[in-house]
């Protein structure tokens, strides 16, 4: 294919531009706007040049789910558990066109002052019983109960340094005010 530039495309007549649009974009158009056609042809050509796939995906039409998953891992850089052939083919096409992020999922870096919330799901009757116990023990909150529980567990297994982290916060300063007044 010859090199595309705006001046050459602008000099073409409308039917020629529409044919070139089909060649480059891959779908027919009846758009009569020459400026729009020139812009879209140049955008598609630029995108195509920027996203040259490592392997052509023509064989993905006959590929099995396991083969598509392997292609996903190779091309995108992350495994997938999906067994939906249509979805896997679509993801591979998106990656080849440069429309999705390639590579491992970025992990958020946590600072020393960050406080993370840990998800904990329990059935409502269990939570109600724990609240009764918490009140009977004189604890102010569920959070207090949940900090004391792993603290006690870690102390029982002689992991006192890790247990101290639960009481002091980040554990960097032994004189720091405690996150919890729990004593175990």
Give the pLDDT of the chain (184 residues) as one tens digit per residue.
457 788 888 899 999 999 888 888 778 888 899 999 999 888 888 777 665 555 544 456 788 899 999 998 888 888 899 999 999 999 998 888 878 878 777 677 777 777 778 888 999 999 999 999 999 999 999 888 888 889 899 999 998 888 888 776 544 444 444 554 444 3
Whole-number Å distance between alpha carbons of 136 and 125: 17
Q: Which of 51, 29, 38 is nearest to 7 (CA)?
A: 38
pTM of the model: 0.36
Q: Residue 183 has what pLDDT?
A: 44
Q: Is 88 exposed, middle or buried (0-12, 13-18, 19+ CB in 10 A)?
A: buried
Q: Residue 68 has what pLDDT?
A: 92
Q: Which of 164, 147, 143 is nearest to 155 (CA)?
A: 164
Whole-number Å distance between alpha carbons of 146 and 47: 52
């Amino acid at each position: 294919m010859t090199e595309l530039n705006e001046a050459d495309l602008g000099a073409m007549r409308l039917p020629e531009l529409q044919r070139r649009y089909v060649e480059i974009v891959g779908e027919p158009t009846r758009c009569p706007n020459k400026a729009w056609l020139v812009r879209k042809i140049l955008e598609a050509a630029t995108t195509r040049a920027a996203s040259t796939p490592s392997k052509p995906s023509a064989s993905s039409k006959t590929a099995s789910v396991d083969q598509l998953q392997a292609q996903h891992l190779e091309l995108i850089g992350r495994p997938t558990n999906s067994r939906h052939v249509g979805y896997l083919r679509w993801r591979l096409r998106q990656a080849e066109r440069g429309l999705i992020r390639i590579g491992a999922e970025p992990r958020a870096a946590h600072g020393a002052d960050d406080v993370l919330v840990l998800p904990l799901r329990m059935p409502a009757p269990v939570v109600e019983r724990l609240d009764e116990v918490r009140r009977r023990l004189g604890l102010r909150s569920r959070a207090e109960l949940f900090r004391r529980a792993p603290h006690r567990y870690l102390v029982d297994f002689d992991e006192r340094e890790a247990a101290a982290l639960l009481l002091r916060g980040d554990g960097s300063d032994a004189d720091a005010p405690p996150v919890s007044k729990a004593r175990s």
